């Protein structure tokens, strides 16, 4: 299955579904920050996620309980590959130096990441 990129709103709802594992629309809304979006808005976005193959549902009468089909790890792999190839020419060094310059990673963390990468290369 080919994973598609999510919009910010879709990704926000997927984060909630990954956390809850199974949820009705109301459960998802309860987890969202204020101001809460309208029920119909969340319901529509979840149905879009279902069309994209990210979410499945179990019907209980007229109610639907939704669950992720694409795992957080699968989407994380997709998103990190897209970030690395789209913005850093597939260079982990470029990406790390960008985050260090933006002060998102300190030098100790960058050093630990590079050691981890070297270990993985050796395998």
Domain ranges of the chain: 1-88, 91-123
Two structure tokens written together for 92: 């982990």
Give the whole-number percent of the chain exceeding pLDDT 70.
98
C-alpha–C-alpha distance, residues 43 and 26, integer Å:
9
Q: What is the pTM of this model?
A: 0.78
Predicted local confidence at residue 123, as pLDDT: 66
Contact 63, 24 (CB under 8 A): yes
Please tell us whether the domain made up of 1-88 is placed in CATH 1.10.10.10. yes
Determine how β-strand 63-68 pairs with β-strand 55-60.
antiparallel
**Between residues 109 and 46, which one has the greater pLDDT?**
46
């Amino acid at each position: 299955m080919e994973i598609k990129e999510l919009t910010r709103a879709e990704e926000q709802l997927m984060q909630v579904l990954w956390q809850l594992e199974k949820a009705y629309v109301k459960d998802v809304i309860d987890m969202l920050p204020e101001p809460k979006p309208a029920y119909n808005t969340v319901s529509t976005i979840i149905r879009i996620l279902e069309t994209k193959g990210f979410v499945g549902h179990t019907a209980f009468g007229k109610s639907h309980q939704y669950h992720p089909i694409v795992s957080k790890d699968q989407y994380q792999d997709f998103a990190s590959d897209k970030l690395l190839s789209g913005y850093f020419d597939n260079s982990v060094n470029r990406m790390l130096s960008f985050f260090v310059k933006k002060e998102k990673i300190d030098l100790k963390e960058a050093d630990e990441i590079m050691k981890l990468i070297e270990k993985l290369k050796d395998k």
